[in-house]
Structure 1
Amino acid sequence: MARIPKETVDQIIHHADIVEVVGDFVSLKRKGQNMWACCPFHHEKSPSFSVAPAKGLYKCFGCGKAGGVVQFIMDIEGTSYVEALKYLAKKYGIDVQEEEKTPEQQLAQNEKDSQFIVSNWAKDHYHKLLQDNEEGQSIGWSYLRQRGLNQATIKTFELGYSLDQWDDLLKSASAAGFELKYLEKTGLVVRREDDQGQDTGRRYDRFRGRVMFPIHNISGRVIGFGARTLKPNDKTAKYLNSPESEIYHKSDVLYGLYQARQPIRSEELCYLVEGYLDVLSLHQGGIKNVVASSGTSLTDGQIRLIKRYTDNVTVLYDGDAAGIRASLRGIDMLLEGGLNVRVVLFPDGDDPDSYIRKVGDQRFKEHLEVASQDFIQFKTDLVSREAAHDPVKKAEAIREVLQSIAKVPDPIKRQVFLQQTSQAFGIDEQVLITEYNKLVRNATQKAPGGQSSSGGSGAAGSASGYNSSYGGSSGGQQVPGGGASQRPAPRPMSPEEEAEALMYGASPEDLMGGGGDLGTLTREDLEPVPDVLEQCEREVVRLLLLYSAQPLAPEVAVAQYLLQQLDDTPFKTGVYADLLHLCRQELEQGRWPEVRTLIQHGRSDIRSVVAELATEKYELSPNWTTHQIHVPRELDLLQTACDNAILRLNKVNVERELAVRLEALRHPADEASMMENLQTIHLLKQMDNQLASLLGTVIPRGA
């Protein structure tokens, strides 16, 4: 495997701005000294993902992911250290000089990297065929120009063409040195089976005689393909997609997101369409904040992708009533994901692609402005028209709208939607609230393990929210969380919240509002009690990392002071011992041990610990200073912090040695050994008392 010289690695890390890099994948917002967003690695509705620009690291306080700029690319892409460095080098225009690699050396990289490499090669192969091959130009290029696409759009989305041959790609890839197993794993090549379904060992190209739409992940790497046949009488599907693979999971991909992510962020809006050509035509028409679900049903993974960049999504529909009906469930999922959803309809027979080509870019944009309506209002209009003058159908239509409102996590928005629905159907708002609470309670009771009295998240939490807002429902109707005269039950904490609360000093009674009943809280939900010695070593390393260059006295900085004090104190915890050694090495080479440097270390456990020690979930509010309330900072008390850390570490070591000596007294020994042991115990007790006195932890007699 080729290596990247250390000088180049240092240059890449020096130029890579973690805010810029992470900002390509999530929408960061400043809060205090750090930037915050919803985590791209797990589903959450409240931001717990923090980026510290000054330290060059990120940390999620929900799932625990943490590291520096290179680690972020490794995590988000699931790729190797070398590939992450190449990605950053490309972004910042840094030339990476590598030794020449044969195809065999390329494929010696890990499985995912090899699949990325072969997919990228296939994209280039198809793109070249579209532009330079006679068949590609006469069939593929002609079709794309017929659909109104220009050269710039074709290049931006790297469109291509696959020859109408059984083995064009297979032969070309083999000649280029790619292994067949990666062609099969990515779905570019298929094994032939006989009439009995037996594997014949023969292979052929999956895509033949089709226009190729490369599917990119959010960092621009090709992970799969969509392909449209151009044969009028072809019995196969009009569109054919790559199968699922290690690098392609269609439920976690939106076509065009790589090209649309920055426009979505700047416009604070995402347009959602169904097909590849919808994306291409709108992008070419100047509407660049557009993505497609590629004809598949909308998934939670795709919704989370949108929410990384914006809370606002507008769904563009054609005028087909059956298609709209089939898509309503997907929009309910958008609502449940916390997105603000609007809908735009086009005239019957038109989809976004055909309509923009028919009326032009400007009139299309005007239509988006005029025809856009809130989804709840849109659904209300749709189902009320279908119900017409039938009272039974009207009642069902109201319930359909209420089911969508129940998906909205924000209680204020739910209240507004209920008021809006009441006016639209001409029905008393309190009646709607009563019916809403019934639907929510029934949904909660039917849910796996659901308890109608437990509140919880989702529907049950929504119902209790309405009870508290409206003081109960009419007719003595009880709702989850208590009746009109009862105080609503507090929302139960998740195990993560419970563990965090306990870590910050809350008692079990505090978690339950003073009742003392832990409910479903189990011992497994709580963080294990940390080893005291490990915690002491951790604290020393933390001070060393955060304040290494801070002066304690003339010409004596924190790093020098701590390492000098620890000369005769070996660490017992492996990762902290290794970090201490790395800090010594940095200091010996004339450099201060810094978070920015150590967060790029090759060992994942070291990167993880550095990120953990260097990030803080909470910051002191500037209001304290505004109100002239002085709160001492650790930076102002560094000498005390360093001394206490050393003293505590020494005290724990003394206590451990004392325990070993006391245990030895319980076992038979000769008189000389026993006397020596007793003398050592006496000295250790004196040392323990002295250390306790220095720490201020001596308990006076009679206390």
Structure 2
Amino acid sequence: MARIPKETVDQIIHLADIVEVVGDFVTLKRKGQNMWACCPFHHEKSPSFSVAPAKGLYKCFGCGKAGGVIQFIMDIEGTSYVEALKYLAKKYGVEIQEEEKTPEEQLIQNDKDSQYIVSNWAKDHYHKLLTDTDEGQSIGLSYLRQRGLNQQTIKTFELGYSLDQWDDLLKSAEKAGFERKYLEKTGLAIERKDDQGKDTGRRYDRFRGRVMFPIHNISGRVIGFGARTLKANDKSAKYLNSPESDIYHKSDVLYGLYQARQAIRNEEVCYLVEGYLDVLSLHQGGIRNVVASSGTSLTESQIRLIGRYTDNVTVLYDGDAAGIRASLRGIDLILEGGLNVRVVLFPDGDDPDSYIRKVGDQRFKEYLDSSSQDFISFKTNLVAKEAAHDPVKKAEAIREVLQSIAKVPDPIKRQVFLQQTSGTFGIDEQVLITEYNKLVKNSSGKAAGGTPPSSSNTAARPASSPAPTRGPQFQPELSPEDEAAMYGATEELFGPSAADATAADPDAEPVPDVLQACEREVVRLLLLYAAQPLAEDISVAQYLFSQLDETPIRTPIYADMLHLCRQEMEQGRWPEVRTFIQHGRGDIRSLVSDLATEKYELSPNWSTHQIYVPRELDQLQQACDNAILRLNKVNVQRELSARLDSLREPLDEETLMETLHAVKLLKQMDDQLGNMLGTVIPRGA
């Protein structure tokens, strides 16, 4: 597999200026040491998005997005770590010479590249047939005009037309120099077989006499096609899609996402429809944040794609009750993924495409606003109506709603939904909570024998009690860490992950919050002030490491961070924010951005008015001493607590005396550390 050499990665990171890169997307204004703007990731009136040029990082104090220049491109473009590197390489003129591939790897890459190339050529060919041929204009273009689509929409989505001939594409492709095997691998051509199912050696076009809808991946490359027949007496399927291929996996693709991704981020909601024309009509009507599942059941991969850009999904249904019922499971998947789901139901006989053409753009938008309801309420009302006069069906309907509520990771939302369900069905809320806990317990029990349960169903708990909240935003199909590893960012470069360290010891004792806070403070001082000298003519990094020599760091992410800092110093470099903010591991980038950003800066006017405010930089020795002392005190108190607990158990005389002696020494150490920190009041005071 191809790898980007580490030297090239380092060069890209060195050249990439975060102010320049971020400035391509927002207008930055200087205030103090940092640059500020309204956040590009959420709507706001007052700027809360900060860029720190000296540290090479950005932070939004409104939505919490933070990181370095690579992370910014990943966030703003919805790309992977490697794709962000390539984006920056192109911007700064860095040539990426991938390390030599094996013959097998080169063959695979060449094969996929050829499929991309022939798919793009086919898209251009179909588009030209639509606009430049008599058949394309009279049939294909006439149909699109009839559906209300204008030239700009046709151009934006690169629509086309396939001639009603057996081998137009085949002949044109061969004339252009393309090999037949790539037309077959992408599904553009089909082999003809005889009555016994044997290959006759003849080929023909898959798409004939159809309007063509190119399907793009998130980077804008054409990977497949959807096609609608325009023949009134055609016995084949109305819509025909490209088959699965090396470059096209329908469960990983949403139609229109390439064109909609920025609008989804700006509007903070994604409208989910079913068909190609729904997307096209809404996009043309000014609703750009719309995508389609293209008639397939919604998949987890598609939900992860949406999650790159927003936490909010609104599903647009036509009035077909059977279709709604069939789609409920897909929406449960969206809930389980931690996204907020709302529903808009159109009048019977209408779908999004027909309704926007019927009422116009403005009234359609007003309908979306007035008719939108949260999914749990929608489902509750739907099943309650179906089971209105049947007690058995009503009980099953309640369980069906509870199963959806159990998919919601947020405990507060679950509590609200349980209250709403209680009111709709006229059932005591405590009864619902009891039944909810049974469902969760059963699902957890089943998961214990197979796949681990989801974060929303890990324990049978009252709906009002704490539960794990949703973790990081949905990642691409391949996580940045995994993809970075594919490109040479191995453990030798990035170190083992905190998740790996935890997984290696699943029975490890949880780290208390107070201990995590103390360890975090040590890491923060080390990261921000590593090279700063202290009173003893020693650097902060050297001093902290000397004091930590015998002190275990129990929080995996902080232990990883200290290990990486040691590696930097062993290689003759000071640990720096600018280095780690570009790290291949997402948890490291997130930690560094949190530790290195400050929401407020002292006004320069304070010094003008001779108001002196001590800076941490001027009191580093005290800050480092206090951090080490607090960490040691917490560790001593943990050990003391463990010894005292052991005294509750039967002990032989020798062990008892040893334990009592240890308790005495630990109490003395705790008092001494308290005195040094000024947290202990001397006896008699």
Give the alignment's TM-score, normalised by structure 2.
0.62
Contact 1:164 1:209 in 2 (8 A): yes
1:113 matches 2:113: yes
CA shift for structure 1 position 174: 1.4
SS in 1 for 2:308: helix
Give the corresponding residue for 1:286. 286
Give the corresponding residue for 1:397. 397
Residues 396-438 of structure 1: CA deviation (Å, up to 9, x unaligned): 1111111110110100100000011111111111111111111
Residues 268-327 of structure 1: CA deviation (Å, up to 9, x unaligned): 111110000000011111111111000000000111111111111111101011111111
CA shift for structure 1 position 21: 9.1
CA shift for structure 1 position 598: 13
Give the corresponding residue for 2:339. 339
Contact 2:78 2:309 in 1 (8 A): no
How far apart, in 1, do the equivalents of 2:187 and 2:449 lie? Answer: 40
1:220 matches 2:233: no
Give the corresponding residue for 1:383. 383
CA shift for structure 1 position 369: 1.5
Contact 1:119 1:223 in 2 (8 A): yes
How far apart, in 2, do the equivalents of 1:362 and 1:501 lie? Answer: 53
CA shift for structure 1 position 187: 1.4
How far apart, in 2, do the equivalents of 1:468 and 1:75 lie? Answer: 41
One-letter amino acid matched to 1:464: R
> Structure 1 residues 596, 32: CA separation in 2 closer, same or farther (over 3 Å shift)?
closer
How far apart, in 2, do the equivalents of 1:115 and 1:151 lie? Answer: 28
Contact 1:418 1:433 in 2 (8 A): yes
1:466 matches 2:468: no
How far apart, in 1, do the equivalents of 2:230 and 2:89 lie? Answer: 39
> Structure 1 residues 309, 383: CA separation in 2 closer, same or farther (over 3 Å shift)?
same
Contact 1:50 1:58 in 2 (8 A): no
How far apart, in 2, do the equivalents of 1:213 and 1:15 lie? Answer: 39
Residues 34-61 of structure 1: CA deviation (Å, up to 9, x unaligned): 4589xxxxxxxxx9x98644xx3349xx
How far apart, in 1, do the equivalents of 2:359 and 2:312 lie? Answer: 26
Contact 2:157 2:214 in 1 (8 A): yes
How far apart, in 1, do the equivalents of 2:276 and 2:389 lie? Answer: 40
Give the corresponding residue for 1:171. 171
CA shift for structure 1 position 116: 1.6
Residues 198-256 of structure 1: CA deviation (Å, up to 9, x unaligned): 22232221111110001111221111111111111111111111111222111111111
Give the corresponding residue for 1:641. none
How far apart, in 1, do the equivalents of 2:74 and 2:382 lie? Answer: 49
How far apart, in 1, do the equivalents of 2:586 and 2:343 lie? Answer: 46
How far apart, in 2, do the equivalents of 1:621 and 1:231 lie? Answer: 62
CA shift for structure 1 position 511: 4.9
How far apart, in 2, do the equivalents of 1:442 and 1:369 lie? Answer: 38
One-letter amino acid matched to 1:260: A
Contact 1:212 1:228 in 2 (8 A): yes
Residues 531-567 of structure 1: CA deviation (Å, up to 9, x unaligned): xxxxxxxxxxxx9x9999x999xxxxx9xxxxxxxxx
How far apart, in 2, do the equivalents of 1:270 and 1:203 lie? Answer: 41
Residues 319-354 of structure 1: CA deviation (Å, up to 9, x unaligned): 011111111111111111111111111111111111
Pairs aligned (count): 507
Contact 1:126 1:162 in 2 (8 A): yes
How much is the aligned-residue C-alpha RMSD, in angstroms? Answer: 5.3
> Structure 1 residues 197, 617: CA separation in 2 closer, same or farther (over 3 Å shift)?
farther
CA shift for structure 1 position 13: 6.7
1:418 matches 2:418: yes
How far apart, in 2, do the equivalents of 1:221 and 1:149 lie? Answer: 23
SS in 2 for 1:616: helix
How far apart, in 2, do the equivalents of 1:388 and 1:633 lie? Answer: 72
Give the corresponding residue for 1:203. 203
Q: Which moved more, 1:367-376 or 1:442-451?
A: 442-451
How far apart, in 1, do the equivalents of 2:278 and 2:161 lie? Answer: 19
One-letter amino acid matched to 1:342: R
How far apart, in 2, do the equivalents of 1:457 and 1:237 lie? Answer: 41
Contact 1:67 1:608 in 2 (8 A): no
CA shift for structure 1 position 76: 4.7
CA shift for structure 1 position 11: 14
Give the corresponding residue for 1:359. 359
Contact 2:66 2:590 in 1 (8 A): no
1:57 matches 2:70: yes
SS in 2 for 1:427: coil
One-letter amino acid matched to 2:592: E
How far apart, in 1, do the equivalents of 2:513 and 2:621 lie? Answer: 37
How far apart, in 1, do the equivalents of 2:502 and 2:231 lie? Answer: 60
**1:572-651 to 2 correspondences below 5 Å:** 616=592, 618-619=594-595, 622=598
SS in 1 for 2:231: coil
CA shift for structure 1 position 508: 3.3
Give the corresponding residue for 1:252. 252
Give the corresponding residue for 1:239. 239
How far apart, in 2, do the equivalents of 1:610 and 1:407 lie? Answer: 26
Contact 1:13 1:69 in 2 (8 A): no
Give the corresponding residue for 2:681. none
How far apart, in 1, do the equivalents of 2:620 and 2:79 lie? Answer: 29
CA shift for structure 1 position 381: 1.0
CA shift for structure 1 position 608: 5.6
CA shift for structure 1 position 616: 3.1
Q: Which moved more, 1:246-255 or 1:139-148?
A: 246-255
SS in 1 for 2:286: coil
1:263 matches 2:263: yes
Contact 2:256 2:290 in 1 (8 A): yes
Contact 1:158 1:213 in 2 (8 A): yes
Give the corresponding residue for 2:140. 140
Give the alignment's TM-score, normalised by structure 1.
0.61
Contact 1:271 1:313 in 2 (8 A): yes
SS in 2 for 1:247: coil
SS in 1 for 2:215: strand
SS in 2 for 1:212: strand
One-letter amino acid matched to 2:207: F
Contact 1:595 1:614 in 2 (8 A): no
CA shift for structure 1 position 70: 12
SS in 2 for 1:123: helix
> Structure 1 residues 139, 51: CA separation in 2 closer, same or farther (over 3 Å shift)?
same
One-letter amino acid matched to 1:619: L
Residues 159-192 of structure 1: CA deviation (Å, up to 9, x unaligned): 0001111111111111112222222221112222
**Highest relative contact order (Cα 8 Å, sep 6+), 1 or 2?**
2
SS in 2 for 1:136: helix
> Structure 1 residues 151, 417: CA separation in 2 closer, same or farther (over 3 Å shift)?
same
Contact 1:226 1:242 in 2 (8 A): yes
One-letter amino acid matched to 2:457: A
How far apart, in 2, do the equivalents of 1:417 and 1:599 lie? Answer: 40
> Structure 1 residues 617, 110: CA separation in 2 closer, same or farther (over 3 Å shift)?
farther
One-letter amino acid matched to 1:137: Q
How far apart, in 1, do the equivalents of 2:327 and 2:142 lie? Answer: 33
CA shift for structure 1 position 197: 1.9
| Unaligned 5+ runs, structure 2 | 1-7, 27-39, 43-47, 96-105, 468-496, 515-525, 534-538, 540-564, 603-611, 623-685
How far apart, in 1, do the equivalents of 2:75 and 2:354 lie? Answer: 46
CA shift for structure 1 position 111: 2.7
1:508 matches 2:508: yes
Contact 1:149 1:281 in 2 (8 A): yes
SS in 2 for 1:271: strand
One-letter amino acid matched to 2:150: N
Contact 1:624 1:630 in 2 (8 A): no
Give the corresponding residue for 2:609. none
Contact 2:581 2:593 in 1 (8 A): no
Give the corresponding residue for 1:499. 501
CA shift for structure 1 position 364: 1.2
CA shift for structure 1 position 460: 3.1
One-letter amino acid matched to 2:70: L
